[in-house]
């Protein structure tokens, strides 16, 4: 496979992942972190870092809007629930290993 095709396939997979995460707004970021070790914020940070590696200045808010499909504060108000004590404990355990 040539590099152009590989890049096009990777971009398509990224777009599909972003669309899936937008559709599954019921899945909380903390659950993604606890189960997969990354969340929507991580994905938006990686996007911003990739832009910056190419010399493109991108604020966090802009990168997050690309991933969330709306301003982050709006997504939080519509979809983000307060983390439960169990979610917080699982997150702490995944970060520290205890």
CATH code (residue 67): 1.10.3340.10
The parent domain of residue 83 ranges over: 3-96
Mean pLDDT, the chain, whole residue set? 94
Q: Which two tokens stand for residue 95?
A: 């970060």
Contacts of 41 (CB under 8 A, 6+ apart): 29, 64
At residue 94, the pLDDT reads: 80
At residue 47, the pLDDT reads: 97
At residue 97, the pLDDT reads: 66
The mean pLDDT of 19-30, rounded to a whole number, is 96
98, pLDDT greater than 90: no
What's the predicted TM-score (pTM) here? 0.86
Q: How confident is the model at residue 45 (pLDDT cuts 50, 70, 90)?
A: very high
Count: domains in the chain? 1
At residue 96, the pLDDT reads: 73
The mean pLDDT of 43-55, rounded to a whole number, is 97
95, pLDDT greater than 80: no
């Amino acid at each position: 496979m040539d590099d152009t095709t590989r890049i096009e396939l990777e971009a398509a997979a990224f777009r599909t992942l972003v669309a899936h995460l937008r559709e599954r707004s019921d899945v909380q970021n903390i659950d993604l972190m606890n189960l997969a070790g990354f969340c929507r914020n991580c994905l938006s940070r990686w996007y911003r870092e990739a832009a910056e590696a190419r010399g493109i200045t991108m604020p966090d808010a802009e990168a997050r809007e690309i991933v969330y499909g709306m301003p982050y504060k709006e997504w939080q108000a519509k979809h983000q629930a307060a983390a439960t004590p169990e979610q917080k404990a699982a997150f702490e355990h995944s970060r520290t290993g205890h």
